[in-house]
Amino acid sequence: MRRLTALFCLFVFGCIVPLSLSAQGQPSGSSSAASAPAKKPAGSSAAHKGTDPALLNPSTLKDRAPDEFDVKFVATNGEFVVHVTRAWAPVGADRFYNLVKHGFFTDAAFFRVVPGFIVQFGLSANPSVNKAWANAKISDDRVTQSNKTGTLTFATAGPNTRTTQLFINYADNGGLDSQGFAPFGQVTSGMEVVTAIYSTYGERPDQGSITNEGKAYLDKNFPKLDRILSATVISPAPAPAAKKPAAAAAPPKS
């Protein structure tokens, strides 16, 4: 029950870190994004030149996900594949699909690892992107699947607060089902990679600092964290962008 309470109270951008999370190992004296003074994003322009500009405008990323699709994650410790079934949780599946398509997870760290429970990720390496998604909340899905080992689920701080944070279940965490956590995908290969994600830091990385400072904060304070090098929709492949028809050649003139 202790772990379930902590997960239900997960920090989501701008929310105050609950006491129950502090009891789970949040560093004493840590502050939330809501109570801490605003920090200037460290190195955001130099370190994130490749950021898709669309990620700064969440309201424009509204593509409907395929009924089923696979996403390949290439991480610093190996590769794994997640199969998504949209019918399980369509709102969450659509959000995940759009995040993947536009490279949100590139360089994102696995910042919270609780062996035997969950591994959590989904804060961008780019502070500007985190700021843009702070209030891009989606409505809850009905829970149709159990939080079994290997399922992928959005984290939440209460009803209708899902944004970008996700977790993969390390065990059969059926107790999360009644709390509204709706799985939408399942790791189909590479689960051994997922369970081997670096876990020594546990829950020490401060989510408010990750939100405000991104990769710079983690590189300085938690350099051994595993992170995502790329996340790509591999099946079915996204349709290529439509090309503008070539202009007709002008007739020769004498």
pLDDT category of residue 35 using cuts at 50, 70 and 90: very low
> What domains can be seen in the chain, in order of their start residue?
2-27+67-235 (2.40.100.10)
Of 109, 245, 114, residue with least CA distance to 170: 114
What does the pLDDT look like over 229-240, one tens digit per residue? 999 999 986 666
Cα 114 from Cα 24, distance rounded (Å): 10
Return the pLDDT at 31.
Answer: 31
Give CA–CA dist 93/153, Å, rounded.
10
State residue 2 phi and psi, 5-degree precision: -60, -45
Tokens linked to 88: 């399980």
State the average pLDDT over residues 41-59: 69
Beta strands 151-154; 166-169: pairing state:
antiparallel
Q: Is the distance from CB of 227 to CB of 76 less than 8 angstroms?
A: yes
d(CA 214, CA 208): 9
Q: Where are the alpha helices (DSSP H) in 54-160?
A: 90-101, 127-133
Closest CA to 130 of 105, 157, 97: 105
Residue 236: per-residue pLDDT: 87
Rounded mean pLDDT, 99-103: 97
Q: What angle do CA 134, 233, 102 make, to 5 degrees?
A: 35
Quick one: what percent of the chain has pLDDT higher than 90?
72
Q: Are 141 and 30 in contact (CB under 8 A)?
A: no
Nearest to 211 by CA among 95, 42, 18, 97: 42
pLDDT at 50: 73
Alpha-carbon distance 106 to 128, whole Å?
Answer: 14
Number of H helices, E strands in the chain: 8, 8
Write out pLDDT tens, residues 68-83. Answer: 999 999 999 999 999 9
Q: Which helix (H) or strand (E) element contains residue 3? A: helix 2-8
Using CA atoms, how far apart are residues 210 and 203, in angstroms rounded to an integer? Answer: 13
Assign 209 a pLDDT band (cuts: 50, 70, 90).
Answer: very high
